[in-house]
Amino acid sequence: MLEKQAFGVCSSIADSAGWTVDRVRVYFVYLSLLTFGSPVIVYLFFAFWIHWKQYIQGRRPLQYL
């Protein structure tokens, strides 16, 4: 529930790769722990990209909180 409010990056990756959202989240957490948090930068980039793509396509971005 919180992830959908927090940009929806993991669910977008899971949908495009055909995986479950839980698997993507677990991989993200493990990768963050192993690389001392550097995937957070990639996560923020994807969050920006998803919302920019929605803006260009003319769809309204997700409303937070």
Tens-place pLDDT, residues 5-64:
567 888 888 988 999 989 998 998 899 999 988 888 888 888 888 877 766 777 665 555
Quote the pLDDT of residue 37: 82
d(CA 47, CA 65): 16
Tell me whether residue 65 is in a domain.
no
Quote the pLDDT of residue 54: 67
Residues spanned by the domain of 52: 2-57
Q: How many domains does the chain have?
A: 1
Quote the pLDDT of residue 2: 56
For residues 19 and 41, the answer to whether their CB atoms sit within 8 Å is: no
Tell me whether residue 62 is in a domain.
no
Tell me whether residue 36 is in a domain.
yes
pLDDT band with cut points at 50, 70 and 90 for residue 3: low
Quote the pLDDT of residue 26: 92
